[in-house]
Each structure stands twice: as C-alpha cells, then as structure tokens.
Amino acid sequence: MNYRSITYILGWIMRVEGAFLFLPVIVALIYGEEVWTVYLASAVLTLAAGTLLSRKRGENFQLYAREGYVAVALGWIFMSLIGAVPLWLTGDIPRFVDALFEIISGFTTTGSSILSDVEALSRGGMFWRCFSHWIGGMGVLVFLLQIIPLSSGQTMYLMRAESPGPSVSKLVPKVRKTAFVLYGIYIGMTVLEILFLLLGRMPLYDTLCITFGTAGTGGFAVYSDSMAGYGPYLQIVVTVFMFLFGVNFSFYYLLLTKRVKEAFQIEEVRAYFALFAASSVLIALNLLPQLGNLADSLRHAAFQVSSIMTTTGFATVDFDKWPEFSRMLLVLLMFVGACAGSTGGGIKVSRVLMYTKTIKKELAFLVHPRSVKVILMDGKKMEHTVVRAANIFLITYLGILAVSVLLVSLDGKDFTTTVTAVITALNNVGPGLSLVGPMGNFGFFSDFSKIVLMFDMLAGRLEIFPLLLLFVPYTWKK
C-alpha cells in the first residue's frame, strides 16, 4: 500500500471541496445570513489542509487498483465529515450525527433526510445541502481526473472505483478526455434544465436547488412537500430531466458524435425506456379509480416512476397512500435503479439484463446439456469476469441488505418502515414507505441505526466493494 499516494489524492479532494464551500458563502451573503462566516472558515481551512497534503506527490508515486479503491472510499468519507461540519456549527442541524447523515445522503445522492422542517434551514445551508447532490452525482474523483496529472492507467483505477455499473469503459482513448466529456454532458444538461425551469417562472434559488437534486438524482427539495407545491409544467420538466439523467451517458456521447443508430442499439437504454413506459402506464391505470382523471394519473405516475427508478426521490404526492400494487411496483423499481454510467443508483438495469440472460442461458443448458451458449450484450460477448463480478455483487448486496435490516430492526419500528428504510438507503433512493415515506423523515431512528444507514448509503453509491476493502486487513499491508 502506497500511503503517500492516497494522502496526495485526499489532499486534492479537500482542495476541491474547499473551493466548493465558497458557494454557500456567496449565497449566505446575498441573503444577509451570518452563517457565511462558518462556511468561509470551513472553506479556507479545508483548502489549506488540502494544499498541505497535496503539495508534493512524492518520488515513489504509485496508484494501482488497491490504492485507487482505498483513495475513493476514504475520499468520500473525508468529504462527508468535512461537509457536515458547517451544517453542524451553524446550528442548522444541531447534532453532528444528524448533520453527517444529511450530508452523506446528499453526497451519495440518496436524498433521505432527518429534517422535519426543511424550510427552517438557512439559505446558505440549504444551498450546500442541495449542491452536495450535484457534486456527488458525477463524482468528485471523476472531476479530479481532469486536474491531477496522472497517467491513463492510474486514473482508470479511480474511475472504476467511483463510477456506477458492472463495467467501466473509456468513451475516448484517454481517461482524462473521457472525464472531460462526461462532465461536459453533465454541465450541459444541468444548464438546460435550469433554463426550462426558469421558463416556468420558478424562482432562481428554487431552480438551482431543484436542478442540483435532479442532475445528481438526489432529491433534496427546498420545501417539506418536495415538488407537490409546484405547477404541472414544472413537475413535467423535472420528470423529463430525472429520466434523462438516469440514462447511460454513453448514449448521449454517441448522439453527440452522430452515431444515432449505435446509440439506440444499447440494450440497457432500450430496456430502461421500456421499463419506464410500462411502469408508468400500469401505475396510472391502477391510480385511475382513486384520482378519477387519466391526465393527472399519468402525470403523477410518470413523475414517481421517473423519481424512484432513477433513485432521485422527489415526490408530487404522498405515494405511500397509493394502492398496494402501485406501492409494491415502486419498491421493485428501487432495486432496479437507473442505467450504469448515469448518476442514478440501484442495482442498475444492465445488471438486471445480465441476470435475466444468465437465467435464460441456464434454462437452455438444462434442456440441452451439450450446447455452448454465451451471454451477449449489445451484440458483444460478455466477459466471464464481468458476469462473475455481477454475481458476486448481487450476493454481497443481499448480504448487506439482510444484515442492515436486522440491525435497524433493533429500533423496534414496523416492518415496512425498517425494510424500506434500508432498501432506500442501499439503493440511494431517498423516500421509502410508512414512517419513511415521501412526507416522513429519518430523524426518529437511533444514532446506531443512522450509522448503519450511512454505511448503506456510502456502500450503495460506491458499488459496495471499495468501502468493504477498508475492513480487509490485507488492504493495508505494504
């Protein structure tokens, strides 16, 4: 283990976060809030510490798979600890455990909140809370790949550790250029949503906060009723952009390079489109007797399917009061999640496709034992290592889910609350059902349960293994 290399990366993460902390300073000054002093001090101290740690890269700088995974896992933990401090010191969230839960939920784009009165937050604190979604959506390490002078092989380890999905490939030959393309698409779509929301006369402050939550598929809103208080046009705009940010960014790159046919040949994207359409129609039909209006049923169904499937977590209604079929379908969509290579969480559509193809292959093998079949994705053979990694991911995922449910159940809450709280944390969704429904919050859990859920949020965002490696003794050997 090359500790100097990890320290260097952590230093750069602190420098970036320190720079971002100046944004809530500006917001607080605009609104005349005294919290700007806390954010300014946090920004300066974080920048200074980060500069100190990253001032020298060291002669024996090495960044291989082990260092890459550890740097990413520790980076997200350090980033969260630092990000929670101003929320705590300003008094916006008086308890540090709660502040840490809130900011981890922000950075991991989960959107679960311990707050019962969101409107009570300072404008600066609210902005930092929402902006954490935008930072975490694409990933701070992907951002760093454009800044840190590393070789292509070294940067690929960081990208693999932080990027969601069963496999990570370069859009262009150089990893740094790939990171540049990804962030270019991310920023472009963010600006586009801001413009569409402003056209609907949403206030600028609300527009920025809602856009950050949509782009990062996080779901922190500026009001306790989430998106319910906004008009149909604004809800439709957010529905569309939640869906778009859940698409594999490779799809947009192919469209931008005028390879339209190749873009629509991506199986995962086609399955994502179909699953969204089918789920929206089924829920709309199930809601029709309750709402009595097809247009409203389709609007609310499409919004909620887009929100849950992309693991954003916004809500226009209290879907916990919907018919049982609609509620259960939404829970299933929490597991599926969005596309790999997007800002969404969950198991990912690509893995679900892979598992489906694996089952089909095994069934064919039972009928024809001597047949030789391969799993194809987008017309290409899936490597055995990718399939094996996906299977191990599922086993580990289910194990963490089971243990977490057991631990959180010590709080003595009802079954639906306990199970959906863990599901929504591990899949980075946000709202669950019952007490943690769209109009509820996570503030009533004990500190121990909050720590378990924080671990789940980080594990879900980092695809489990980078975080688990921190607990393996071999990882730390030189």
- Per DSSP, the three-state class of 253 is helix
Helices (H) and strands (E) in the chain, counts: 21, 2
- Which run of H or E residues covers position 381? strand 380-381
The Cα 426–Cα 110 span in angstroms is 9
**Annotated binding site for K(+), which residues?**
109-110, 218, 311-312, 428-429
The Cα 151–Cα 153 span in angstroms is 5
DSSP conformation class of 376: E
From the list 79, 17, 78, 81, the residue with the least C-alpha distance to 47 is 17
Tokens of 213: 């939550």
- Contact between residue 449 and residue 410 where contact means Cβ atoms under 8 Å apart: yes
Tokens of 372: 């030789």
- Contact between residue 95 and residue 88 where contact means Cβ atoms under 8 Å apart: yes
Q: How far apart are the first and last CA of the chain?
A: 4
DSSP conformation class of 35: T
Residue showing tokens 């559509």: 349
**Annotated binding site, which residues?**
109-110, 218, 311-312, 428-429
The Cα 394–Cα 379 span in angstroms is 24
The Cα 30–Cα 257 span in angstroms is 41
Q: How many CB atoms lie within 10 A of CB 344?
A: 31
Alpha helices in 216-259 (DSSP H): 232-245, 249-256
Radius of gyration of the chain (CA): 22
Strand partners, 108: none
Chain Cα centroid distance, residue 379: 29
Sheet strands (E) in 101-169: none
- Using alpha carbons, list the distances in angstroms from residue 235 to 200, 215, 403: 10, 15, 37
Residue showing tokens 């890459």: 68
